[in-house]
Amino acid sequence: MRDFQHYNAESFDEASERLKENEKSVAISGGTDLVNLLKEEILEEAPDNVINLKTIKGVDYIKAEKNCLKIGALAKLADISESQVILKKLPILSKAAGSVATPIIRNAATIGGNICQCTACEHYRFSHNNGGRKICYRKGGKECLALHEKNEFHHSVFGGMKIHNSPCTDNCPAGIDIPAYMERLRNDDLDGAAKIIMKKNPFASLTGRVCARFCQETCNRNNHDEPVAIRNVERYMGDYILENSEKYYRNPNKNSGKKVAIVGTGPAGLSAAYFLRKEGHNVAIYDRMGEAGGMLQYAIPAYRLPKNYVKNTVDALKNMGIEFVMNTEIGTDISPEKLEESFDKVFYDTGAWKKPVIGIDGEELTVFGLDFLMEVKNWMKGKLGQDVLVVGGGNVAMDVASTAKRLGAANVTLICVESEEEMPAGKNEIKRCREQEIEIINSYGVSKVIRDGDKIKGMELVKCLSVYDENNRYAPVYDLNEKEVIEGDSIFLAVGQSVDLSFLDEKYQLDLTPRGLVAIDEKTYMTSKKGVYAGGDMTSGPATVINAIVSGHGAADAINKDFGVEAHDECDVSEEPPFLKFDAVGITRKDAAELPLRLPNECSLDLEDYYTDLNWEQVKEETSRCYNCGCLAVNPSDISPVLVALDAIVKTTERDIKAVDFFTKTPMVDGVLNQGELVKEIEIPAWDNYKGSYDKLSLRDGKNFALVSVASAYKVEDGKIVDARIVLGGVAPVPYPLREVETFVKGKEINEAVAVQAGRLACENAVPLRENANKLQQITSAVKNSLLNAVQ
Amino acid sequence: MKDYAVLNINGEDHKFSLGERRGQVPYSETLVQTLRERMGFAGTELSCGEGFCGRCAVLADGKAIASCMTLTSECDGKKIVTIEGLQKKANGEPDPVVKAVLDYSRFQCQICIPGIIVAVKSIFNKNPNPTESEIKEGLSGNYCSLEKECGIGTQLVSHLAKHPALR
């Protein structure tokens, strides 16, 4: 193992301090877990320091007091299992301690170490010496390896547990808790799912159609087959939310007295408006165009985003009491200063609509791609040639090329500097263009327009050797000797968009970044002018709808904070369930639910490219493909279920923690203990008149982690159980108290039939994995026997 | 940080210098490494490396521990007895436990024997008159590769329970 510095602590305080001083420190008690972790280099980071707790004197005691038992954290399991005191007062603990591993290990192992030990999962414990440790979900990686690999002995039959965000949530700019809403949908809880989405994204019907789907790129299913069709599910939910807009876009019916002006009805502005209006502020949102939506309305073609969804969204926001002031340009109709005077805060999101100049000969003959899309939106037919050239590799270029084809151009050719893999456009969008017989020429830039006076003849292309430099910056390198000429009679440039700030006169200027975007504080979205905020494309450059929504939300949060208003979650979701459950059969479905795509020859400008949406059955089937990524490893300790059953108190160097809070809220002890916090003592109340037992099923002697164990305490009177505590070990990520079984058996006469029924009840809502379904039968048996033994 | 550890190994005190320099015992060195590689006490076997097979068992202050899971740097002041120490005690005689175990006729590969002797000594240190089930429990940490063909958990137990050298 890697070497380390070693300190013998003389007190818990000293040990805690040393652990806090350097975060790369670990404490060692018996060493029967830690030494192996170090030898096999299982953890990603080897510690710098090992702090020995065995040198702390007087903390290995076993004391019986009036109503409880107190055990020092360094008490050895051998002493606990042989203690006459414990045998008399709590034989269940003697039995549990005696069942751990082997007598040789028990001579060194401590109770404090036992309850803090790491899981026995073979993927977590994969030795670095065997070809590289596995960075599984529990260690901060993306996927729980047990789901598809070996999961026979040390894994849960009741679902996983969350340790950190799943990769889909992490990659979503809005951080939507996707697995959580998928689980709600599996339980037919559309309202719960809607609330989870609305927390971060109020426009799911729009993003459900046009989002770039960052979530699907990192879905763990990509390692196996097709990612979950998250966008298609979100689309269904977005439409549901709009259909019930009076519930999800509620007029707050309160007045905070604050007024906020928003300039720009693009997604950033609409998002800011929603999150501000929720708190009862008066919100007025301005736009120089006639209809609201920004790019959603004017740039994204109707065949990708039918405009009725935009209109319904805007209507829902209007019904919240948000005032829309259209056809009003700031700088022309109202000065920025006037806005600042009339409102408490101003948020700008005027977007990036300006044509950039790329500096080629004949550029004046080209058309800005965005202008084209806007003209199409306004139904201007006309100057479209037959051989259309489109320059650009992003989604706008795709939209331009596809729109030109739908308008009837005979040939449409797309030219971009990027290679196919580098193209920023979505893979599906590229595929769609090819299906419409649009030719894509990769790795060529344009050097000039070939003209005959004012008539376009074609373009001269120059080979692009590379697009990005070593620092991943845009720095195309051309081979000026390799040139090509391509014919065409119309040229559209869709190589980017610039931000137009000319509406702010010289007196009212905001600081800009070197790239010409409005500079804002990362956290507060405030510009260089106090009380003036900005977001969306004007601060980031052209980006996606979901990025804009996030920036609007962020600015609203900052404004709320400044107003001293606590943003409340109107859409409060009920408490999260403890285990992440998934559909054990559904996850084997390999194909994602796809929307039926319109045939290329039927594509038009104003019909959506999909024939229909998914129906509810299809949505539910797709949600059943979500793994609900969590850690499936079971808690390895035999003592933990006993302490939970007996309502023990774990006393640390900082506080007293109830056993159920210490053990069952999170699967790793790191999630409970602060850095440097150590377990000092365990206090167990007296359970006189209760019959307790710890029954353990394991595979072998020696390395005998429980496959299924039952920690139980029963109060029996006249052959009936009047009180029961039953906690299962080895079957879930944390000790699993069987509350329903406890209620079921109280007051009942226990016979074989009742005991079997209780055993079956224990297995309700189980989610067995591929290899461990036999645990269910073992649970039923173990619970049944535990009950029958109690009343004998 | 302690820079030395004094271990009494098989009756003799040994002072080890702890540290990362050449010739020093690193803090991360396990007791089994020290015993086998530095002290030459190769009777203690290194097998599973995780503490559950019992083959690396040595006595520390009279109790059997897994030396592969013990850091030498943490054994300062401890009295370590290996199989060599039991085979030849201070008076030159083997410990009675050794005779009792070696009298058993069903050992085959014999790799478990040093660990078993240590474990049995640990059992009898705790209780000079253990019951058969206490002996069985005490041996439950000694793994037999031949899947108990040698009767480690059964016949050996009754053999030891009856053996005159252990009464």
Q: Which helix (H) or strand (E) holds A491?
A: strand A490-493
HEC readout, A374-415? HHHHCCCCCCCCCEEEEECCCHHHHHHHHHHHHCCCCEEEEE
User: CA-CA distance, A170 to A57, in Å (whole number)?
Assistant: 46
Co-location of B107 and B142 in the same domain: yes
Are B94 and B82 members of one domain?
no
Sequence ranges of chain A with CATH classification 3.50.50.60: 258-353+499-563, 363-493
Whole-number Å distance between alpha carbons of A208 and A195: 16
Q: What does each C-alpha distance from A165 to A137, A169, A171, A692, A769 come to in angstroms?
A: 10, 6, 10, 39, 22
CATH 3.50.50.60 fits A363-493, yes or no: yes
C-alpha torsion sign, points A492, A498, A503, A505:
negative
Provide the 3-class DSSP secondary structure of residue A737: strand
**In Å, how far from its chain's centre is CA B123?**
12
Work out the minimum CA distance from A636 to partner chain B, whole angstroms.
15
- CB-CB under 8 Å, B69 with A36: yes
Cβ-nearest to B49 among A3, A39, A105: A39
Q: Which CATH number fits domain A258-353+499-563: 3.60.21.10, 2.70.150.10, 3.30.160.20, 3.50.50.60?
A: 3.50.50.60
Q: Which residue of A has its CA nearest to B77?
A: A55
Do B142 and B104 lie in one domain? The reply is yes
How deeply is A26 buried, as exposed, middle or buried, from its count of CB atoms within 10 A (0-12, 13-18, 19+)? middle
Q: Residues A325, A326, A330, A335: is their CA dihedral positive or negative?
A: negative
Task: List, by residue range, all CATH 3.30.390.50 domains of chain A.
Answer: 5-66+90-120+633-790
Q: What is the mean pLDDT of chain B?
A: 94
Q: Which residues of B touch A31 (CB under 8 A)?
A: 69-71, 74
What pLDDT is attached to residue A426?
A: 87
- Residue A349 CA to residue A286 CA, distance in Å, equals 10
Report CB contact under 8 Å: B28, A2: yes
Helix axis angle for A774-790 and A752-761, nearest 10°, is 140
Chain A: closest CA distance from residue B27 (Å): 6
Q: Are A463 and A404 in contact (CB under 8 A)?
A: no
Quick check: A52 and B74 CB within 8 A?
Answer: yes
One domain, residues B76 and B96: no
Q: Please state the domain count of chain B.
A: 2
B146, containing H or E segment? none
Residue in A4, A6, A102, A704 to test binding to B, most B beta-carbons within 10 Å:
A102
Last residue of a domain, one of B32, B67, B86: B86
CA proximity to A383, closest of A363, A404, A406: A404
Q: Are strands A649-652 and A656-658 parallel, antiparallel or unpaired?
A: antiparallel
CB-closest option in B30, B65, B153 to A104: B65
Domain ends where: B36, B69, B86?
B86
User: What kind and span of H or E run contains A297?
Assistant: helix A295-298
With a cut of 70, which residues of chain B have pLDDT below it? none
How far apart CA A23 and CA A6 sit, in angstroms, is 15
- For residue A383, what pLDDT is reported? 56
> In whole angstroms, what is the distance from residue A162 CA to residue A139 CA?
12
Sheet holding A345-348, edge to edge: A323-325, A282-286, A259-263, A345-348, A532-534
Domain that holds residue B124: 88-166
For A102, which of B18, B30, B54 is closest by C-beta distance? B54
CA distance A41 to chain B (A): 12
Pair (B28, B82) in one structural domain = yes
Q: Does B2 touch chain A if contact means CB atoms closer than 8 Å?
A: yes
**Which chain B residues are Cβ-neighbours of A48 within 8 angstroms?**
none
Does the distance separating the beta carbons of B51 and A6 come in below 8 Å? no
> Rounded to an integer, what distance in angstroms lies between the CA atom of residue B136 and that of residue B124?
12
A110: which DSSP letter? Answer: B
Which of the residues B21, B48, B50 would you substitute to probe the A interface, choosing the one with the greatest number of A C-beta atoms within 10 Å?
B50
- B15 has a chain A CB within 8 A of its CB: no
- CATH code for the domain in which residue B26 is found: 3.10.20.30
CATH number for domain A5-66+90-120+633-790, candidates 3.30.390.50, 1.10.1740.10, 3.40.50.410, 1.20.120.140: 3.30.390.50
B132 touches chain A (CB under 8 A): no
A68, exposed or middle or buried, with CB in 10 Å at 0-12, 13-18, 19+?
middle
Q: Which residues from chain A sit within 8 angstroms of residue B20, using beta carbons?
A: 3
Say yes or no: B28 contacts chain A, CB-CB below 8 A: yes
Distant-in-sequence contacts of A56-59, Cβ < 8 A, 24+ apart? A56/A9, A56/A10, A56/A11, A56/A12, A56/A15, A57/A10, A59/A12, A59/A680, A59/A681
Mutation test of the interface with chain A: which of B74, B142, B147, B148, choosing the one with the most A Cβ atoms within 10 A?
A: B74
Asked which of B86, B120, B140 is the last residue of a domain, the reply is B86
* CATH tag for A167-247+575-623 (out of 1.10.3470, 2.130.10, 1.10.1060, 3.30.2390): 1.10.1060
Question: Residue A381: what pLDDT?
Answer: 42
Q: Do B74 and A28 touch (CB under 8 A)?
A: yes
Cβ <8 Å between B143 and A702: yes
Whether residues B80 and B131 fall in one domain? no
Residue among B52, B73, B74 minimizing CB distance to A105: B52
pLDDT tens for A139-174 read 999 999 999 999 999 999 999 999 999 999 999 999
Tell me how far apart the alpha carbons of residues A320 and A245 are, in angstroms, rounded to a whole number.
Answer: 10
> Is residue A701 within 8 angstroms of chain B, CB to CB?
yes
B129 and B75 within one domain:
no
- Cβ distance A32 to B69 less than 8 Å, yes or no, reads yes
The pTM of the full predicted model, rounded to 2 decimals, is 0.88
User: Are the Cβ atoms of A103 and B2 closer than 8 angstroms?
Assistant: no
Q: ipTM for the complex?
A: 0.96
Contacts of B1 in chain A (CB under 8 A): 5-8
Q: Is B137 within 8 Å of chain A by CB?
A: yes
State which amino acid sits at residue A25. S
CB contact under 8 A, B57 and A38: no
B contacts of A25 (beta carbons < 8 Å): none
Q: What backbone torsions phi and psi does residue A93 show, to the nearest 5 degrees?
A: -75, -35
The answer to whether B17 faces chain A, any CB pair under 8 Å, is no
In this structure, the answer to whether residues B108 and B39 fall within a common structural domain is: no
Under an 8 A CB cutoff, do B63 and A107 touch? yes
Question: Which ranges in chain A are annotated with CATH 1.10.1060?
Answer: 167-247+575-623
**CB count, 10 Å around CB of A344?**
17
B-chain CB neighbours of A38 within 8 Å are 28
Distance from CA of A139 to the nearest CA of B (A): 21
Q: Please identify every stretch of chain A with a pLDDT value under 70, giving residue numbers as ranges.
A: 378-385, 505-506, 570-577
**Rounded CA separation A655/A652 (Å):** 5
